Amino acid sequence: MSKRIKTITAGRLVSAVCYTVAGPRDGEQERSCKREMSSAGQDSINLRRSWQKLEMTLAANFGGQDLHVVHTYDDAHIPIHKDAALKQYRKMLKLLRGARKMAGQKTRYIYVTEQLSSEGGRLHHHMVLNGTGRDVEVLRSLWPYGQVEVERLDVWEGYEALARYLTKEPREVGKCRVGERTWTPSIGLLKPKTETETVKDNVTITLPPGAFVLSRKADNNGWGEYLYLKYLLPEKRGDKKGKRPPAKRKPA
């Protein structure tokens, strides 16, 4: 009897699952039960929804030194429709890239444009942006159309909450399709790394020292089992930005 371990690593965020796989000598009932656990394990880690893909993309490219930015419009500058707002926002992004290029700085971002009826139907933009140090002044100088709200990413809360929040509009208005991307990334963002290996039956997922468990799922039907963990790796030595030790760890 053997198991399979699949791991998706995105920056400090890791999703890993270990599940029993059926063998050639297994009987019909044993094979069926092991396939049940195998299927459940794979489903736990598959990135089927837009927010799940966004969560891992955020984690692969942004950390505690980076920013969540909200651009709004005042009454004098409300666009006539969403396409006009997108055109205006892309113009601002072009100016931002130009300003950073002149300063020798890179620009990485993911943005979402919303017009939720629950928020008054007012167009606004959310952007996750890599931080450089002088971001607030530059961002506000490039956006004379309304307010610019800036906050640091809270990686200790995990990326899931932010990813769900940034993809909420299609779900609320009933236009969300499974796997559909509802957000716009900049060119060249890093992709999560996926690894799969077959291991012996007595092997399972081992947490690295200092890792903080964000979620855990497990099941055992007598013939097979699976264990799914999503966890945050400890910061690299010397990286103090965004550091906030957890008050209590969840059991693995």
The pLDDT, as a whole number, for residue 226 is 93
Q: Check residues 247 and 208 and name the one with the higher pLDDT.
A: 208
The pLDDT, as a whole number, for residue 1 is 60
C-beta separation of 224 from 20 below 8 A: yes
Instruction: Report, as an integer, the average pLDDT of 169-187.
Output: 64
Instruction: Report, as an integer, the average pLDDT of 138-157.
Output: 91
pLDDT in tens, 66-97: 999 999 999 999 999 999 999 999 999 999 99
Global pTM value = 0.84
The pLDDT, as a whole number, for residue 8 is 97
Whole-number percent of the chain with pLDDT over 90: 69
Confidence label for 180 from pLDDT (cuts 50, 70 and 90): very low
Mean pLDDT, all residues of the chain: 87
Instruction: Report, as an integer, the average pLDDT of 173-179.
Output: 47
Q: Check residues 158 and 20 and name the one with the higher pLDDT.
A: 20
Q: Check residues 252 and 132 and name the one with the higher pLDDT.
A: 132
Confidence label for 250 from pLDDT (cuts 50, 70 and 90): very low
Q: Check residues 45 and 252 and name the one with the higher pLDDT.
A: 45
Instruction: Report, as an integer, the average pLDDT of 86-110.
Output: 96
The pLDDT, as a whole number, for residue 232 is 94
Confidence label for 118 from pLDDT (cuts 50, 70 and 90): low
Confidence label for 53 from pLDDT (cuts 50, 70 and 90): very high
The pLDDT, as a whole number, for residue 122 is 86
CA distance 160 to 156: 11
